[in-house]
Structures are given as C-alpha cells and as structure tokens.
Amino acid sequence: MANTDDGTEKQGVDKAPALFGRLRELRARAQSLREFALTLQHQLASFADARLRDLEMKALLQDNLRPFTLNYERIALLIDEVRALLNEDDELYAAWGDIVGRVQVAWDQAGGNWLKIVAAETPQDCSRQLSRVVADLDSVIYDCCVITVPERIKEHLKLLPIGGPLNFSAAYSDELCTSTERQRFLNYLNLYPKFVEGLIDVKNEQILRAAPTDRRRSLTVFITAALALVGFVLILLACYLGDHAVLPGWPFTLDRLKEHILGYTFLLFGSLAHVVVTLLKQDRKASESSWTLSNWLLRIHVKENSFIISAISLWLAPVAMAFLFKEGIDWKSAFFVGYSYDSFIDLFLQRFERTITSASEAVQKDLRQTSLQTREAGPIATA
C-alpha cells in the first residue's frame, strides 16, 4: 500500500499495469539496440582491413545516430519512470525492486559502452565493446521479461482447456529470441510452481494448462477412478443379461460373475501399477533432463482427457479377456493385461476386426446363395 497526497490508501496493483507497460516498452527498445549492435558486428566482421572497418563503423554510427539517440534517451526516461513507480508503492518495490535494480545496472553498463563507441571521433576495433553491449542488453531484456511475461502467460493459459499446450516458443519468441533464453526462463518459472497455473515442459518449450485449485486437480483422479469402477456394474449387468436372455455363446453368466469380477479387479491393479511406474520413471529421468516434474497429481491432471478415455476403454477389458481367453483368465494374466493394456486392447481390436470381417463375409455369402436359389426357383414356382 502507498499513501496518496490526500492521505487515502491506493492499492499497489493499480500501478502494476503502468509498471509492466513501461518495462515492455523498455524491453522492446533494448531489443532494437541489441539488433543494431549485432548488425554492426556482422558487417564489421566482413572487413579484413582495419582502416576500412573503422571507416565503415563511423559511417554506420553517423547514419543511425538519430534513432540511437532517441532510443537511448527514451530508455533512460523509462527507467526513471519505473523507479518513480516503485518508490511510490512499497508492494511493487518489495516484489520487483531487486530485478529493476539489475535492469538499471545492466543498462548503465550498456549505455556507457554505447556512448564510448558513439562519442569516439574515430571508432577503432569496437568488437569487444559491442559484445559487452549485447551481453548487457540481453540482461536488460531477460529481466524485463521476468517481470512482465508471467502475467501474460497466466492470461494466455486461461484461454486454453485443461491440458491444452501453450507453445511458449511461438508465443514469446519476439521477447526471448533464443532457445537458450527461453529455456532459462522456463527453468526460472519451474522454481516457483504456483507462479503460473500449468505444467512446464522446458525441453519442448511448452506449458500445459492446469486448473488453479488443488481440489479441481484432485477431481481428475476421482473422475478417472469412478469411470474405471463403472466396469464392475457393467460386468454385473452383462452376467444378469446372460442368465435372463437367450444368448448362445454369451460368456457372461452369474455362475462366472466371481471370475469376471476378480479378473477386472486385477486388471485395474495392473493399470494402476503402470501409471505409478511411468511417474517413477519420469522422476528418475528428472535429474538427467529438463523435465523436472515432481508433482504426480499435476502430471495426471494435465492429461485429464487421456486418463478419462483410458478409464472408459477399460470397460472393454472383460469382453476382450473373454474373447481372447476362452478357457478363463487367472489373476496374474489379468494383472499383466492391465499393465500393458494399450498393447492388449490393440491386439483384441485387431482380432475382433478380423472376426467381424469374416462373419460379415459369411453372411454376405449366405445372402448371395439365398438370392441365387430364389431366382432359380422362381420360374418353377411360377409354372
């Protein structure tokens, strides 16, 4: 809170947009100067003769003196305005004072080196100074992004569904130009899990949107578990149907209810074991890669749709096991079917498709024969 001239209190958040806006403009202008410095380096590197290089440097600086001067003066003014905003609001100062301090120090260093180059009557061998300018401007740009980009990410993520990926590389490449800087920034965000509502994948430079509350994230687990447990109800209904309807070859009867229930139970255990092992593998790889994710609930939550679809697909398991294991299935087989369920269901669908195709061809053949016999018998019947 900061007190205004009339003694009333004004929320620090009121000044946050003004702070962010000035820092974004500062970042854009620093990027413009950085690009100019890189252009100078590139063009000067093509001159082998030192005298020609110095002359070209002088000509380039003279041609760009006015835009450089305007940029330089505007950045200096923006830093003064940012400082004034922080001095007026203790909350903003506490939150961003250290980073703004780094921005000011880096700019003072960059500006000093720029002025040495520009003010020199005959610039000579400025490659080292230009490299320092680029490094200092990189620092200014990065620190401005540390303050302004997280808020934009939060707003961006609100537009996405749960688990929707934000392509950080595509969305913020104009602000963090290199992959190294973007991954550095995402690693920084990873240090503060509550900074943005999402799962950060540094290696692939993306953020998967998550719900803001732990209650909503936990709901993913409960929904998935509830859908998987519906399979028991379906087995009961299938066995009841088998006893009260005439269905030759129907594998579900009340006499075999216990067998089907136990098979589905151990299949669920196997599926759960597969999820746990996958999460453990990710944790073990975390120390060897940029995928430093330790929150299991968050990792499950951002793949909510995938888990829900998988839970629903488990309803096919009793039918698949009855189709592939006609003599019955023991608990060990059911467990490993659950553990490798994706491969198992693919095998079942392939066999089921072949069976359906064969049955369809047989029905079509019978229909053709019946039709032929009807045509042959037609004249006789007429006579």
b/e map 170-198, b = 16+ CB within 10 Å: ebbeebbeeeebbbebbebbbeeeeebbb
pTM, to two decimals: 0.72
* Domains along the chain with CATH numbers: 2-148 (1.20.120), 160-210 (no CATH), 214-366 (no CATH)
Give the tens place of pLDDT for each residue, 104-145: 999 998 888 777 776 655 555 566 777 788 899 999 999 999
Mean pLDDT of 84-97: 90
pLDDT of residue 9: 42
pLDDT of residue 352: 53
Beta carbons within 8 Å of 221's beta carbon, 6+ residues apart: 297, 300, 301
Band (pLDDT 50/70/90 cuts) for residue 364 is: low
Mean pLDDT of 35-64: 64
Rounded to the nearest angstrom, the gap between the alpha carbon of residue 269 and the centroid of all alpha carbons in its chain is 29
pLDDT of residue 182: 92
The span from the CA of 147 to the CA of 151, in Å, is 8
Of 123, 133, 134, 130, nearest in space to 57 by CA: 123
Rounded to the nearest angstrom, the gap between the alpha carbon of residue 255 and the centroid of all alpha carbons in its chain is 49
Helix H or strand E segment including 327? none
- Tell me which range, 30-34, 184-188, 327-331, 369-373, is most confidently predicted by mean pLDDT: 184-188
pLDDT of residue 4: 43
pLDDT of residue 288: 47
